[in-house]
Structure 1
Amino acid sequence: MKWNVLSLLHIITSVTFLTKAQLDGRRYLTEGFGQVESFEQAVQRINSLNIKSKQESLQQILTNSLDHKGIDLDTMAAFLGRLSQLKALDVNVSETCFNRTEHYLGGLMTRQIWALRMFDATTKLPSGILDGKMIWTGSFDECTKVKATVQIKVNGTDNTTHLVPTDQFDGQYCMPTVPAPKSMAAYGVSGIYVGICVPAGCSEEDVKGLVNTFLAVLGVKEGGVSNVNCAQVDKTWTSDAIAVVCVTGAFVLLVAIATIYDVVIQHKESPEPTVISVPYGGQNITANGSVGDHSLRVDDYTQLVNNTANPYVKKVNQAGTLSKVILAFSVYTNGAKVLNTKQGSGALTCVNGIRFLSLSWVIWGHSYAFCFTFVGNIGPIFEEYKNSWTMQPLWSGTFSVDTFFVMSGLLVTYLTLREMKKGSGRFRVNWGLYYFHRFWRLTPPYMLVMMVYVPTFYLWGNGPGWPKGGIDPNCKNYWWANILYINNLLDMSKMCMGWSWYLANDMQFFVISPLILFPLFWKELIGLVILLILLLGSFIATGVLANVNHLEPSSQYSQQSQEYMEILYMKPWTRIGPYLVGMVAGYILYVTECKPKLNWVTALLGWAVATAAGLAVVYGLHDVYQGHPLSNDVSALYITVSRTVWGACVAWVIYACCTGYGGFVNTLMSWGAFVPLGRLTYCAYLVHPVIMYFVYMSRRTLIYATDVSMTYFFFGHLVAAYGCAFVVSMMFEAPMMGLEKAILNRDKSA
Structure 2
Amino acid sequence: MRPPWISPTAFVMVVMVVAGCTMVRVRAEDGNSTDYSDFKTHSDEDTTTQEDGTTLDSNAPGPMEIMMNEMFDEIYRRALPSVTQFGFDPNISTDCSTALVKYALGLRKMEPWAMQMFDASGKLAAGLIKGTLGDLGNFHECLEVVARKRIDDSLDFTGRFCTVYINMANNTLVPKVLEKFQSVGMLIGRRDPLNYVGNSMFKGMRNSICIPSVCSTEDIGYIAGVMAKKFEATVTVRGCTSKGEKSSNATQRAVIRLLTVIATVVLATTLFDVCCRLARNAERDDFISRLERSSDGFCKLTEILFGMSIVSNTEKLLHTEPRDVNDQKLMFIHGMRFFSSTWVILGHTYFIGDPTGTTSLSNVINLVDSIFTTVIANAFPSVETFLFVSGFLMSYNVQKMLQNCTNLWMTVPVILLRRYIRLTLPAMLVVGIWLLVPLMGDGAIMNDYRARFLESCEKHWWRVLVHTNNFVPFFDMCLGHLWYIDIDYQLYVLLIIIPVLMLRNPRQGAVLALLSTIGTILYIAYTTVKLGLQPTVVFTSTDIDSTVNTTNLIQFRPWAHVGSFNVGILLGFLIYKQPKIRMQKITVLVCWMIAACVNLTVLLKPHDWFSVDYVDFGSAECILYAVFHRLAWSLGVAWVAFACATGRAGIVNDLLSWRALVPLSRLSYGAFLSHVVILLTQLMMQEERVPYNHLTKMMNYFAVTATSFFTAYLLYLFCEAPLAVIERMFIGGDLFKKPRSRLRREPHAAVAGHLGDVKSGTTIDELCVEPSSMSMVTPVAMTNQTKNHSYL
Q: TM-score per shorter chain, which class?
A: 0.7 to 0.9
Is the CA contact (8 Å cut-off) linking 1:411 and 1:586 kept in structure 2? yes
Query: 1 CA distance for matches of 2:574 and 2:691?
Result: 49
Query: 2 CA distance for matches of 1:73 and 1:483?
Result: 60
Per the TM alignment, residue 98 of structure 1 is displaced from its structure 2 partner at its CA by 1.0
- The answer to whether the aligner puts 1:540 opposite 2:522 as a matched pair is yes
Equivalent in 196, 202, 213 of residue 209 of structure 2: 196
Query: 1 CA distance for matches of 2:284 and 2:421?
Result: 28
- The answer to whether the aligner puts 1:512 opposite 2:497 as a matched pair is no
- The answer to whether the aligner puts 1:467 opposite 2:467 as a matched pair is no
Query: 2 CA distance for matches of 1:642 and 1:740?
Result: 38
Structure 2 partner of 1:565: 551
Query: 1 CA distance for matches of 2:516 and 2:632?
Result: 16
Is the CA contact (8 Å cut-off) linking 2:116 and 2:145 kept in structure 1? yes
The one-character-per-residue Cα deviations of 1:179-232 (angstroms, maximum 9, x if unpaired) are: 22543751413411111111112111111123345657xxx4323313432135
Equivalent in 136, 161, 185 of residue 173 of structure 1: 161
Structure 2 partner of 1:431: 412
Per the TM alignment, residue 265 of structure 1 is displaced from its structure 2 partner at its CA by 3.3
Structure 1 partner of 2:388: 406
Change (3 A) 1:83 1:489: same
Is the CA contact (8 Å cut-off) linking 1:175 and 1:230 kept in structure 2? yes
Equivalent in 299, 302, 305 of residue 326 of structure 1: 305
Equivalent in 246, 254, 259 of residue 248 of structure 1: 259
Residue type of the partner of 1:748? K
Per the TM alignment, residue 144 of structure 1 is displaced from its structure 2 partner at its CA by 1.4
Is the CA contact (8 Å cut-off) linking 1:118 and 1:146 kept in structure 2? yes
Structure 2 partner of 1:157: none
Residue type of the partner of 2:141? E
Larger deviation, residues 257-266 vs 369-378:
369-378
State the SS of the aligned residue for 2:511.
helix
Per the TM alignment, residue 630 of structure 1 is displaced from its structure 2 partner at its CA by 4.1
Per the TM alignment, residue 478 of structure 1 is displaced from its structure 2 partner at its CA by 2.9
Equivalent in 702, 717, 722 of residue 735 of structure 1: 722
Query: 2 CA distance for matches of 1:575 and 1:386?
Result: 26
Structure 1 partner of 2:611: 626
State the SS of the aligned residue for 2:689.
coil
Query: 2 CA distance for matches of 1:61 and 1:197?
Result: 27
Structure 1 partner of 2:635: 648
The one-character-per-residue Cα deviations of 1:697-723 (angstroms, maximum 9, x if unpaired) are: 211111111111000111111111101
Structure 2 partner of 1:15: none
Is the CA contact (8 Å cut-off) linking 1:596 and 1:659 kept in structure 2? yes
Structure 1 partner of 2:125: 126
State the SS of the aligned residue for 2:385.
helix
Equivalent in 541, 549, 553 of residue 531 of structure 2: 549
> Over the residues paired in the alignment, what is the CA RMSD in angstroms?
2.9
Per the TM alignment, residue 363 of structure 1 is displaced from its structure 2 partner at its CA by 0.5
Query: 2 CA distance for matches of 1:526 and 1:165?
Result: 85
The one-character-per-residue Cα deviations of 1:429-448 (angstroms, maximum 9, x if unpaired) are: 83232122212211221222
Equivalent in 336, 342, 347 of residue 321 of structure 2: 342
Per the TM alignment, residue 687 of structure 1 is displaced from its structure 2 partner at its CA by 0.9
Structure 1 partner of 2:87: 87
Structure 2 partner of 1:287: none
Per the TM alignment, residue 515 of structure 1 is displaced from its structure 2 partner at its CA by 2.0
Query: 2 CA distance for matches of 1:411 and 1:515?
Result: 14
Change (3 A) 1:359 1:74: same
Amino-acid identity (%): 25
State the SS of the aligned residue for 1:236.
coil
The one-character-per-residue Cα deviations of 1:225-258 (angstroms, maximum 9, x if unpaired) are: 1343213543111122112111111111111111
**TM-score calculated relative to the size of structure 1:** 0.80
Residue type of the partner of 2:433? V
Structure 1 partner of 2:764: none
The one-character-per-residue Cα deviations of 1:362-409 (angstroms, maximum 9, x if unpaired) are: 000101111252553343312222210111112211111111000001
Equivalent in 260, 263, 275 of residue 271 of structure 2: 260
For structure 2, the 5+ residue unaligned runs are 8-59, 176-192, 286-295, 740-792
Is the CA contact (8 Å cut-off) linking 2:533 and 2:617 kept in structure 1? no
Per the TM alignment, residue 83 of structure 1 is displaced from its structure 2 partner at its CA by 5.5
Q: Which protein, 1 or 2, shows the higher relative CO under an 8 Å CA cutoff with sep ≥ 6?
A: 2
Is the CA contact (8 Å cut-off) linking 1:63 and 1:116 kept in structure 2? no
Is the CA contact (8 Å cut-off) linking 1:207 and 1:228 kept in structure 2? no
Query: 2 CA distance for matches of 1:127 and 1:71?
Result: 21
Structure 1 partner of 2:194: 186
State the SS of the aligned residue for 1:400.
helix
Per the TM alignment, residue 79 of structure 1 is displaced from its structure 2 partner at its CA by 4.8
Which residues of 2 match residues 588-599 of structure 1 at below 5 A? 588-593=574-579, 595-599=580-584
The one-character-per-residue Cα deviations of 1:454-483 (angstroms, maximum 9, x if unpaired) are: 3x2222221111136462322344333321
Is the CA contact (8 Å cut-off) linking 1:80 and 1:102 kept in structure 2? no
Change (3 A) 1:6 1:736: closer
- The answer to whether the aligner puts 1:720 opposite 2:699 as a matched pair is no
Query: 1 CA distance for matches of 2:640 and 2:74?
Result: 73
The one-character-per-residue Cα deviations of 1:85-123 (angstroms, maximum 9, x if unpaired) are: 413232x12211111111101111121111111111111
Is the CA contact (8 Å cut-off) linking 1:596 and 1:660 kept in structure 2? no
Structure 1 partner of 2:235: 225
- The answer to whether the aligner puts 1:697 opposite 2:678 as a matched pair is no
**TM-score calculated relative to the size of structure 2:** 0.76
Structure 1 partner of 2:431: 450
Which residues of 2 match residues 49-128 of structure 1 at below 5 A? 64=64, 67-76=67-76, 79=79, 85-90=85-90, 92-128=91-127
Is the CA contact (8 Å cut-off) linking 1:177 and 1:227 kept in structure 2? yes
Is the CA contact (8 Å cut-off) linking 1:79 and 1:213 kept in structure 2? no
Is the CA contact (8 Å cut-off) linking 1:329 and 1:734 kept in structure 2? yes
For these two proteins, the number of residue pairs brought into alignment is 638
The one-character-per-residue Cα deviations of 1:265-299 (angstroms, maximum 9, x if unpaired) are: 3652668999xxxxxxxxxxxxxxxxxxxxxxxxx
Change (3 A) 1:122 1:652: same
Query: 1 CA distance for matches of 2:401 and 2:611?
Result: 51
Change (3 A) 1:325 1:270: farther
Query: 2 CA distance for matches of 1:63 and 1:339?
Result: 71
Equivalent in 652, 664, 669 of residue 651 of structure 2: 664
Residue type of the partner of 2:234? G
Query: 2 CA distance for matches of 1:130 and 1:506?
Result: 43
Which residues of 2 match residues 128-143 of structure 1 at below 5 A? 128-143=127-142
The one-character-per-residue Cα deviations of 1:568-612 (angstroms, maximum 9, x if unpaired) are: 11111112111111112112212212x242222111111110000
Residue type of the partner of 2:113? W
